Amino acid sequence: MRKVIGWSIVGYLLFALFLTWYLFYGANTLIPAELKGTAADPETFLNTRELLLTEEYSQIRNLLFFLNIPLEWIIYLFILVLGISAKFRNWSKGTSNLSVLQTAIYVFYLSLIVKALTFPLQYVGYTLSKQYNITTQAFPGWMRDVIIDFWVNYAMTFLIVTVLYWLIRKSTKRWWLYAWLASVPFALFLMFVQPVIIDPLYNEFYPLKDKELEAKILTLAAEANIPSEHVYEVNMSEKTNALNAYVTGIGSNSRIVLWDTTLNRLGDEEILFIMAHEMAHYVMKHIYVGIAGYLLLTLVGLFIVHKLMALCIQRYGSLLKVNDMRDIASLPLFLLLISLLSFASSPFSNAVSRYQETSADTYAIELTHNNEAAVETFQELTKAGLSQVNPPFLVKIFRYGHPTMLERITYLENYEKNE
Number of neighbouring beta carbons within 10 Å of residue 229: 11
C-alpha distances in angstroms, 311 versus 165, 304, 327? Answer: 18, 11, 15
386: left (phi over 0), alpha (psi -120 to 50) or beta: left
The question of whether 34 is a catalytic residue gets the answer no
Q: 109, 70, 115, 104: which is closest to 86 by C-alpha?
A: 109
Closest CA to 309 of 337, 345, 340, 343: 337
Q: Which of 40, 36, 158 is nearest to 109 (CA)?
A: 158
Please choose, from the candidates 385, 383, 379, the residue with its C-alpha nearest in 3D space to the C-alpha of residue 405: 379
Q: What is the dihedral of CA 408, 411, 412, 418, to 10 degrees?
A: -160
Catalytic residue among 72, 233, 278, 376: 278
Residue 195 burial by Cβ neighbours in a 10 Å radius (0-12, 13-18, 19+): buried
* DSSP string computed for 167-232: HHHH-TTTHHHHHHHHHHHHHHHHHHHIIIIIGGGTS-EEE-S-HHHHHHHHHHHHHTT--GGGEE
Q: Are 391 and 400 in contact (CB under 8 A)?
A: yes
The residues that are catalytic are 278
